[in-house]
Structure formats: structure tokens, C-alpha cells
A and B are shown apart, each in its own frame.
Chain A
Amino acid sequence: MNTIETIKERYQQLQSNNGSSVLTPIEQHAFNTFNTLGIPTVKNEEWKYTRINGVFNKEYAFNPEDISASISESDLNAIRFPGDEKTNELVFVNGLYSNELSTIHSENLTVISLEEATKSEYRELVLQHLGHSSKYINDGLNALNTAFAAEGVFIHVKKGDIVEHPVYIYNIIDARSANILAQPRVLIYVGENAQVIFAENYATFGAAESFTNQVTEIVVEKDALVEYYKIQNDAAHTNQVTTTHIRQIGKSLVNTVTVSLDGGIVRNNLNIAMEAEYSESHFFGLYFLKGATHVDNHTVVDNVKPHCQSNELYKGAVDDNATAVFNGKIFVQKDAQKTNAYQSNKNLLLSNNATVNTKPQLEIFADDVKCSHGCTVGQLDEEALFYLRSRGISEAAAKSLLIHAFAVDILGHIKPEAIRQHVDELISRRLGVEIE
């Protein structure tokens, strides 16, 4: 049975097992959309540089009951971010949230299934915001995830509160006995004047292949502050399409950093809809690619209301046969006067077979705005390299030091020190440089 058939079968099964829910029409609509659009091909302008349909030529298990998701404490320890005993941990296994493995310490943080949320005080919030990402990403994969939305979770951060300890999200795949298809789905609501930090990673156990098709939607209220860190360092036989969709519905502040170090095909969609005046967002990306890794960062900033400020910087070094794609789009809508939007993408090409495709785009419909965008593709500075070597540093070490230096300013935007150090260690290990 091929994957598409597996998906269809599971969909029918779930729909007949579960009784009617308010989410059913949403899922049905999405499933029809998926059937119409199918898996995106390179003919789709948004997928021009990333060939994802090949991933579907394999067979995947997509029924979590089929395999034993036996994740041990030592498995968890192997993939944990550094943190203390107060850290909140949300664990997803093969795309489904695991209550048993997760730990929540903060009282102001609520995690329940989306299905459950629709039967609670959060019903209106869910119905209002679930699926908003399809406004920006109208492709088959987004629809495919939404078709199974009821299995996702809802995270609520209480108004006026500071979640003092970061929330770590672990996306775990157990591919020890079969190829796995996983579709994590999360809706996060951050209430007025609340503050919260998220950090997530992806880890696959086992040698079989995996494909993760993730959608995370985040709604940010007035005066709230959200930090979101995504660290991708999974094995080369894993593929991921992740969508992070952020709506700033009140004047708020969002910081995100996406770090991609390893994997097969990795596609990250990041949307920021700035729907309230005076909102501010900073989003950074860092990719260090080698082997045949293919990382595609697609970002959209939509300035809807006036006086917003967005600042985007993605940097990467691409080696061996790896490919980096950057597609950054900034929209400034007609009413979004006094928008300040900066966008920049900087690339180091470290080998002749490495590829960088970069496409910064500005679409401005307002007249009183300040926007800048730029991109560079270059090599390591020969003079700097020579300077270091003339001080007795070997060529390889000198290159590593310069590449590390290139990444430093992005690292600086990871505010929690534990996460920053963790990422720096990953990078330094890759480069073989010592850090203090």
C-alpha cells in the first residue's frame, strides 16, 4: 500500500470511529483540499527549489497503535535540552502528544487536546484561530495536517502571567521498526501581557525513515511576549516540513530563531501576520549544511496594520553537496503605513557542489514605509583566512573559526543561555572548534 492510500484509510477510519465534533467540518474541508491539491511538486512556485514528492514514494506507518512507541527515560535524556527540574516538557511521539512523558510545572500553562478544547471555555478561541495558516500556505501538506487536527493539542498561556521556566517541545519519532509518518499539530494561545519561551527539537530513534509534517499555530495577544526557538539536528534519513504560523492580534513582541544543522529534506514555513499596530517581530535563521542535506526556509511577513517593525536575518554556510533555499517575502498592505521591515539573507558557499537559491521579495502597497532587503552569496574572506594562517592556525581550523564567527550574531539572539550554549556546542562540535 502506498503512503497516500495509508493516509486515506486512516482518515476514513478516524472519521467513522469518532463521533461528530465541531472540528469534523474543518477536517473534512481540509481533506478535500488535500485530495484536490495533492503533494506539491516543483511546478508550484513555492516549491520550485524543493522536491518533496519523492518522500511519498515510500511506505510509512501512520497509525500510532501499529508500533510500540516505547520511549524510555534514557531515550529522553539523550535528546533533552539542558534545563532544571522546573522546566516544562511537552513530548510528542510519532506526531501525537504524550501525557505520560510530558511534565508541566507552571500553573499558568494549560495543555489539552484540541478536541477537548472545543468542549471547554477555549472553544471560541480554537474555532477562531485553528487553520489560519492556510491563508498563507495553501498547499496539500498544510491541508493534510489539518485533516487530522482533532489529534493535535491546544496550549494556553494565561493572561497577565509570566511562565517563568521555558517550555521545551520534543518531537520524537520512533522508527526502530518501521518508516514513520508523523503529523504534530499545535495551537498556542498567549494571553494579554503574558510572557513565554518555547524551544523545540526533532529526534528520530531507529534506522528506518521518517517524514514529519508539522503545523504549529501561535496566537499572540496584546502586550504579550513570545520567544520561539526551533533546533533541527535530526538524522539524514529524516525529512521534515514544518509550518510555524504566528498571528500578532494585539500589539506584541515575538522573537524566533530557527537553527537547521542536519536532516534529509527540511522545509520550514514561517509566517508572521502582524495584525495589530505597533507590533514587533524579530526572526532569525541559521543553517550549517553538509552532506546532501537540503534546507528550505520560506518566510512570510505580512504587515497588515501601521507602525509595525519586523527584522529578519537568515545566515547559513553550505558545504559538500548540500542545498540551502531562502525565500523571504514581506508584504506591506495598503493601511500599513510607517512599517519598518528589514530582511537579509547571507550565505557562505563552502564547496563547488553546494547550492544556494535565495529570493528576497518585497511587496509594498503603502507609501510611507521603510523597508530594506538584501542578500549575499559569497565565500570565506581569503584575506581573513590568510591572516589567521599567518598566525600559525591550520587552514581547516582557520576556516572553522571564521564560519563560527559568521554565526555568532545569530546565536546572540537566542536569549535563554542554556539553549544558546547548547546550540553553540552543536555548531562547535560540527566545526571542530573549541569554545570558551
Chain B
Amino acid sequence: MKSEDVLEPQLEALDEDLLTIHDTVNQEYKYGFVTQIEADSAPKGLTEDTIRFISAKKNEPEWMLEWRLKAFGHWQKMEEPHWANLHYPKIDYQDIIYYSAPKQKPKVNSLDEIDPELRKTFEKLGISLEEQKRLSGVAVDAVIDSVSIATTFKEQLGELGIIFCSMSEAVKNHPDLVKQYLSSVVPITDNYFAALNAAVFSDGSFVYIPKGVRCPMELSTYFRINAENTGQFERTLIIADEGAYVSYLEGCTAPMRDENQLHAAVVELIALDNAEIKYSTVQNWYPGDKEGNGGIYNFVTKRGICRGVNSKISWTQVETGSAITWKYPSVILKGDNSTGEFYSVAVTNNHQQADTGTKMLHLGKNTRSRIVSKGISAGFSNNSYRGLVHVGKNATNARNFSQCDSLLLGDKCGAHTFPYIEVKNNTAVVEHEATTSKIGEDQIFYCNQRGISTETAVALIINGFAKEVMNKLPMEFAIEAQKLLAISLEGSVG
């Protein structure tokens, strides 16, 4: 191969890198504002009445209420899990508001009717709903506290038979689809937080891509916790029917508050024959202050099932936020020749703690999975990768490749890797690679000696380390995510 071929693309990428780095140093959490809007809330605490209240508020059909109550029954018998490498004070589940909705006209017919304060919020978040209306490219569903506020591009998508709406609407307008798929991937009894979510979930996004349709634009949901003492429990359900394709983005922010707030979401993905779902997350919930006060407790169950042959599910996540992260986006590879992917960058700084990873369950024949996890720890934080690769008895010719790299900035933080590999079929090829490395004064001095300042050096190192995952994000998100990394790690070395 000629040297030009290899070098040219690298050099192009290089200029981009440097451009974004200089723009983004010296920024703090910029999404920490609170929007002054009236909220319609449930009283604190969790009883059957709370659930009836939520269900009534949402005018839900009886079957939905029963489903919730059943989940609640299970939840009451369950115990909060503590096997993760996480340490936090006991959560008082009776001290949380389980439903809070911005008071506004019950139905929004056009974007112009949205509360102006709320619209300002979205503009601050960089999501101009107006802009979205004009630019074709991304369709947005905005969820604030517990309720979906607005979904754009509905009509255009409707023409293709694509359903993109809030879960509340889906329950009313597409009950058959919801009944068929809801909790089919994450059962209400799956785990403590999933059961809690099923009991009290307030809203979320629903996507259905019909047979043979490639969704022409990125679908996106922005989640925002605004009200005080509120938990956010959203639930997302995405179904790609035979031969369908969709790329879905999720972004989250929250105000800076001293107390901890709970976020327990559930995401379910279903890919039928020859379908593909690409799910990307940039998670930037408030991580708490430098001393470790406040921040979001993020306990999330995300799981997809490649139910059909040749189907594919890909999770990409950039996690910089939350005080506590407990999250393992997984893929059940049931269909023959199906593929699961997990690309993750998890950054922890100050006193943040993350225990995150994935599960790839190979059940069908010729199934493939790929895991690339990049953990960056700074300050006093702890970052754990926990991953399971399971190859079942009938999963002939399963292939997995896992790579887990950890980067430590400074010597007060920790990185941990917990890979679990279970192989019950001898035709499997499972590869696992792990590295841990540290950036300290030596590396910085080396860069300095070559004329590179400390700030530039840190930015170069971080971006280089995370690049493989960043490249998997859609363009709109990649730049945002790169900025986030720089901000999260500002001042952590040197």
C-alpha cells in the first residue's frame, strides 16, 4: 500500500480534531439551568394510588393500569441490587415525586403553541424545534420531566407508515402494537429498576418502522429532568419490522441541584428479519459538583432482541454525566446470522461512579457480536466495565470480539474490568482484549518537550483514545459528544 493512502485520511481527521479542541476547553456544565414553568405533579411517595393517579392523568386504558399494578406488585417483593461496583446512600423511594408534567395546553397542534419558556429551554439545549421544522435531517421527540412535549416531522414520517410518537399516544392509538411488544424484551420482573419503571413510567418514545422501510432521517429524543425531587421514568419501545432500518438518537440533560435525582428508564428494541436498529445515546445528566454533592442516579435497563434472521442491533453510547451509572445495553442474538454491537465511551470525573457494559447473548447460529468499550477515569472517580458474552448450546459458529480499554488520568481514580465469558458451543470464537493505561506527568512532559501545551496534549490524548467509538456516532452527535469529553475532563491532568 502506498503511504499516501494511509496518511491522507488521517491528516484530514487531524485538522478537525484540533479545531474542536480549542473551542471547548474551559467550560463547565452548561445545561445546569432551571426553567421556571408550572408543573402538574403527583404527591411524593409510591403506593398503588400513585400508580392509579399516573394512569388516570394519562387517560390510560384499563389493561395498561393492570399491567402497571402487576409490575408494582413484583417490585414490592424485590430488593434493590447491590452487586455492582457502586457506593451510594440508600435511596428513599417514598421521598420521590413519580409524576411531574409541565402545565400546558393538553394538546399541541403545532410548535407555535408550545409554552415559550419551554421553547427557550430547548433552544438552550441546542435543540431548536423551529430549526428542526425547517431542516430535514432529524425528527425530534422532546421529553421534559415525565412527559413527551413535542414530536416533529410526524406527518412526513406518517406518509411512509412510520410511527414516531410518545408512548402515551401509542398506548391510545396503537394498542395492538404496544400490547404485542411492550415488556417482550425487558419483562416487568426483569430487575428491580425495570419493575419500578413498569409501575410508574410516565412517557417516552415509541417507534415503529414498517416492513421494508428505511427511515429517511435520524429519529431523536431529548430527555430533560427539570422539576425538583422528581424521578424520571421513561420507557422507549422501538420496533423495526422485516427489512426496516432506523437510526435513533437519545440525549439527556438535567439542572444542577444539590440533592440526587433518580432516573430509571427502560428501552426495548425489537429487530425482525433483516431489520437494523442503530441506537445512539449521549448521556449528560448532571454529574454532581466537584465534592460529589447532587447529581443523577442513573439506573437504566436497555435491551434489544435480534429476533429475525440477518438482523442487527447496534448500541453506541457516550456517557459523561450522572453521579451513579448502572447500565448494560444488551443484545439477544436469537435470529440466525444476527449481529449485535456495543460501542461505549464512559467518562467519570470528580466523584462520579459508573458500572456499565453490555451483554451479548448468542442463541442463533452464525451470530456475531462486537464490543468496544473505552473507559476514562479522572479525579476520584471509579469506572467499571462489566460485560457478559454468552454462547448458547445451539449457537454454532458464534463470533465475539471484545475490547475494553481504560485510561486513568491521575492516580486517585480507578478502572476495573469484569468480563464474563460463557461458551457452551465449541465452534465459537471469542476474543477478549483489555488494556489499562495511565496518563501522568511523564506523558505531559514528553508532549511539552515537543512544543505542545498541556491543554492541547490532554485533548489530543482523549480524542485519540475515544475516536473508534466517536466515529460510530451520527455526525450531529459526534461533535457535541467530543465537546462533552473535553468539558468533563477539564483540568483533570497537570
Contacts and interface: CB of A to CB of B under 8 A. Distances in A.
Q: Do A and B bind each other?
A: yes
Contacts of B437: 370
Contacts of B411: 368
Contacts of A376: 429, 431
B432 interface: yes
A377 interface: yes
Interface string B403-440: 00000000100000000000000000101111111100
A371 B433 CA distance: 10
A374 B434 CA distance: 8
B429 A370 contact: no
B429 A371 contact: no
A372 B434 contact: yes
A375 B432 CA distance: 7
B431 A370 contact: no
Contacts of B432: 374
Contact of B431 (A369, A372, A374, A379): A374
Interface string B427-455: 00101111111100000000000000000
A379 B428 CA distance: 10
Contacts of A369: 436
A83 interface: no
A378 B438 contact: no
A377 B436 CA distance: 24
Chain A's interface size range is 10 to 19
B429 A372 contact: no
B429 A374 contact: no
B433 A368 contact: no
Contact of B435 (A368, A372, A375, A379): A372
Nearest to B431: A376
B438 A377 contact: no
A23 B432 CA distance: 48
Contact of A371 (B431, B436, B438): B436
B438 A372 contact: no
B379 to A, nearest CB: 17
B433 A370 contact: no
Nearest to B440: A368
Contact of B436 (A370, A374, A375, A379): A370
Nearest to A368: B438
B330 to A, nearest CB: 23
Contacts of B433: 372, 374
Nearest to A378: B429
Q: Is the interface of B mostly helix, strand, loop or mixed?
A: strand
Interface in A359-377: 368-377
A368 B413 CA distance: 11
A372 B431 CA distance: 12
A377 B400 CA distance: 12
A183 B432 CA distance: 40
A376 B428 CA distance: 10
Interface string B446-488: 0000000000000000000000000000000000000000000
B367 to A, nearest CB: 15
B339 to A, nearest CB: 15
A368 B411 CA distance: 9
Interface in A195-228: none
Interface in A362-405: 368-379
Nearest to B411: A368
A379 B397 CA distance: 10
B429 A377 contact: yes
Contacts of B431: 374-376
A400 B434 CA distance: 31
Contacts of B429: 376-379
A368 B415 CA distance: 11
Interface in A59-117: none
A38 to B, nearest CB: 35
Contacts of B436: 369-371
Interface string B133-175: 0000000000000000000000000000000000000000000
Nearest to A364: B436
Nearest to B402: A374
A321 B112 CA distance: 76
A371 B432 CA distance: 13
A189 to B, nearest CB: 34
A369 B434 CA distance: 13
A368 B410 CA distance: 11
Contacts of B435: 370-372
Contacts of B438: 368, 370
In this complex, which of A369, A371, A372, A377 has the most chain B Cβ atoms within 10 angstroms of its Cβ?
A372
A374 B432 CA distance: 6
A262 to B, nearest CB: 27
A377 B423 CA distance: 12
Contacts of A377: 429
A285 B432 CA distance: 20
Contacts of A373: 434
A376 B401 CA distance: 10
B283 to A, nearest CB: 28
A76 to B, nearest CB: 44
A105 to B, nearest CB: 42
Nearest to A372: B435
A379 B438 CA distance: 35
Contacts of A371: 435-436
Contacts of A378: 429
A368 B412 CA distance: 11
A378 B429 CA distance: 6
Nearest to B406: A370
A409 to B, nearest CB: 16
A371 B434 CA distance: 8
A376 B423 CA distance: 13
Contacts of A372: 433-435
A376 B434 CA distance: 14
Nearest to B438: A368
A322 B434 CA distance: 30
A370 B438 CA distance: 8
B17 to A, nearest CB: 24
A431 B491 CA distance: 57
Nearest to B399: A378
A244 to B, nearest CB: 27
A430 B88 CA distance: 62
A427 B433 CA distance: 29
A377 B427 CA distance: 9
A383 to B, nearest CB: 12
A373 B419 CA distance: 13
Contacts of A379: 429
Interface in A338-372: 368-372
A286 B436 CA distance: 27
B216 to A, nearest CB: 32
Contacts of A375: 431
Interface of B: 411, 429, 431-438
What 3 A-B pairs have minimum CB-CB distances, sorted nearest first? A378-B429, A372-B435, A374-B433
21 contacts: A368-B411, A368-B438, A369-B436, A370-B435, A370-B436, A370-B437, A370-B438, A371-B436, A372-B433, A372-B434, A372-B435, A373-B434, A374-B432, A374-B433, A374-B434, A375-B431, A376-B429, A376-B431, A377-B429, A378-B429, A379-B429
Given A370-B438, A375-B431, A378-B429, 9 more contacts: A368-B411, A371-B436, A372-B434, A372-B435, A373-B434, A374-B431, A374-B433, A377-B429, A379-B429
